[in-house]
């Protein structure tokens, strides 16, 4: 059996090894230290925000971002249905109710027209919407120009889920700089990684202070241990921050390698009827985290599941697009404005190996496997 090819493995090397070893030898291995401080400053500068708080995960950043906005039990948080479960989990952690909004079929991102419909419906019913959490899907930012204008019109703060979009831009602004605050993720499969980790990004000093306070067990600044709020152990270790700094220094390089992989897929499927590279239009602003295709079986003569099976037979990982949250058993009882776009994308979409760590031989294995499949149809 050939060695397994994953969709997005960590891309680490000598620079990361030296950074982690340096942090270890310094003695700063706890959830504080000079690399944590420097990582926060460097990412804030990269994104163009005033404050950054390093945390243990992107989910923690979403959770604390919501709490810092005052979201709590009985509130409603309007969010994307096409996302990973972490987005919705963070909302539920606060005691709020998620209200799902369906996607644009071209990008999978929140449909602004459906967001407006959701807010109008909830407002007319006298229900309190405490926040909007839109998700940048697979590295492509949402239409922030439209989404933020609608949010401002209805007086609802936006917490951007930029877990998948670090390095992308919208209208010349970096992902992670939109809304009252943004959450980014450094999970092992992300565009850059700290093994596990995340960060809360904001221009609001109060949100940053509240997030940092809650992440450190809500400890009061006194000599003894004093607590007046329930807190969380959500800090990032200095070792992982050192890894993150090394990764951040290579971010543009890693995005470039993913873009090369996307181009290989574009070339491979260019003459195949019924197959589109998902969200590829205008993808110069995308961070190309994951490349997916959308297959029209009636035109192509084959389904995305057929290609997935062929790749699996050669030990190559692929995966359907996100199963919408309103279809997930744990969240299916929650309300939303659903058009069916996300369901269609889930049924027809397939995500392909996209990682920057793929070496030429692995890239060739993937493209050869797809070419073999296409020639057999």
Catalytic site residues? Answer: 190
Both structure tokens of 193 = 């990684």
Rounded CA separation 142/162 (Å): 10
* Exposed e or buried b per residue across 105-135, where buried means at least 16 C-beta atoms within 10 angstroms of its C-beta: ebbbbbbbebbbebbeebeeeeeebbbbbbb
Both structure tokens of 65 = 């971002």
Beta-carbon contacts of residue 333 (< 8 Å; ≥ 6 apart)? none
Q: What SS3 state is found at 31?
A: coil
Q: What SS3 state is found at 152?
A: helix
Q: How many CA atoms lie within 13 A of 178 on its CB side?
A: 31
* Spatial CA neighbour of 6 closest among 373, 311, 370: 311
Rounded CA separation 364/254 (Å): 18
Rounded CA separation 22/192 (Å): 20
Whether 344 contacts 105, CB under 8 Å:
yes
Rounded CA separation 217/100 (Å): 31
Whether 254 contacts 226, CB under 8 Å:
no
């Amino acid at each position: 059996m050939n060695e397994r090819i994953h969709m997005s493995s960590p891309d680490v090397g000598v620079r990361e090894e030296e950074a982690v070893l340096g942090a270890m030898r310094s003695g700063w291995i706890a959830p504080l230290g000079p690399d944590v401080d420097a990582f926060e400053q460097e990412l804030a500068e990269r994104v163009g925000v005033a404050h950054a708080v390093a945390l243990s995960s992107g989910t923690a950043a979403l959770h604390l971002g919501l709490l810092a906005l005052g979201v709590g039990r009985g509130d409603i948080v309007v969010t994307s249905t096409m996302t990973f479960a972490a987005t919705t989990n963070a909302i539920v952690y606060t005691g709020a109710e998620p209200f799902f909004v369906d996607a644009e079929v071209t990008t999978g991102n929140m449909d602004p027209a459906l967001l407006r419909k959701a807010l109008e419906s909830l407002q007319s019913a006298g229900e309190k919407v405490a926040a909007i959490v839109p998700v940048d899907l697979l590295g492509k930012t949402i239409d922030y120009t439209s989404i933020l204008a609608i949010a401002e019109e209805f007086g609802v703060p936006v917490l951007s889920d930029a877990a998948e979009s670090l390095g992308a831009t919208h209208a010349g602004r970096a992902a992670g700089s939109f809304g009252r605050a943004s959450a980014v993720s450094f999970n092992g499969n992300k565009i850059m990684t700290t093994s596990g980790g995340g960060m809360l990004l904001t221009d609001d000093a109060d949100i940053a202070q509240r997030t940092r306070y809650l992440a450190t067990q809500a400890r009061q600044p006194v000599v003894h241990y004093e607590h007046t709020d329930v807190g969380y152990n959500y800090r990032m270790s200095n070792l992982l921050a050192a890894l993150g700094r090394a990764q951040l220094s290579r971010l543009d390089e890693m995005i470039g390698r993913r873009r090369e992989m996307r181009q290989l897929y574009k070339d491979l499927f260019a003459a195949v009827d019924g197959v589109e590279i998902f969200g590829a239009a205008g993808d110069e602003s995308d961070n190309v985290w994951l490349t997916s295709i959308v297959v029209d079986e009636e035109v192509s003569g084959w389904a995305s599941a057929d290609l997935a099976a062929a790749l699996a037979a050669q030990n190559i990982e692929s995966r359907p697009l996100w199963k919408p949250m309103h279809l997930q058993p744990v969240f299916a009882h929650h309300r939303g404005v659903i058009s069916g776009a996300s369901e269609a994308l889930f049924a027809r979409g397939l995500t392909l190996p996209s990682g920057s760590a793929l070496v030429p031989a692995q890239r060739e294995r993937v493209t050869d496997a797809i070419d073999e499949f296409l020639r057999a149809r």
